[in-house]
Amino acid sequence: MKSCLGSVCGSLKMPLTIFSTLLAVLVLVGAAGSAAANNPGPVKDHAWGTCQLPASLRTTLNNAIKAASGYKYSSVNADFIVIHSLELDNDGQPIGTGGNSGVILCTFKLTTGATTTQETTPIPDASGPHTGSTNINILTNQQQSVLQYKLNDGSLAGKIEKRVCQTTDGNTDCVRVFKQP
């Protein structure tokens, strides 16, 4: 995989352990995930952001990421995860009513939560969850871009891949995501 900062790219090795753990998370989303009481569940062509996973999975995921990094992290604190699909439309998962959802954002029971909101909802939302708050300090602004493409020719013709770029504090890092042969 490549990691790119501007036009300079280098190798980025992502250990299989992380992907194995995320695969386990995907299985648990279907098996053990639960929605908040006011959550209607996944909807076609929309992100689903109120998935909750067992708190024990958070510990497993944190430990797996720490091990996969060769213990270069002194600790890992995964408070939520975003699940993307490589080959399905909208990065989502098939839903029973037809089509695919968008990405899935899951938190961990007893440690973090999420509620739906709108891009135009004021922060703080004094009429909602931030009762009494009148101002904020923006600490960071991160942006993510996910580009899905299908290769038309060559030895990988017909394969679907993605380029995922994350901008954090002015640094943009990208990875190419693909199915293993």
What's this model's pTM, rounded to 2 decimal places? 0.71
Tell me the residue range of the domain where 68 lies: 2-177
81 and 105 Cβ atoms separated by less than 8 Å: yes
Tokens for 89, please give them: 């439309």
Q: How far is CA 22 from CA 58, 81, 152, in A?
A: 11, 9, 29
pLDDT digit string, tens, across residues 121-167: 888 887 777 888 888 998 888 889 999 999 999 999 999 999 999 99
The total number of structural domains that make up the chain = 1
Beta bridge partners of 143: 167
pLDDT in tens, the chain (181 residues): 333 333 333 333 333 334 334 434 443 333 333 334 456 689 999 999 989 999 999 999 999 999 999 999 999 999 999 999 998 888 899 999 899 999 999 999 999 888 888 888 888 887 777 888 888 998 888 889 999 999 999 999 999 999 999 998 889 999 999 998 7
| Closest by CA position to 59, among listed 27, 21, 14 | 21
Give the pLDDT confidence score for residue 44 in this predicted structure: 92
Helix axes 16-31, 55-68, angle to 10 degrees: 170
Find out whether 102 and 45 touch, Cβ atoms under 8 Å: yes
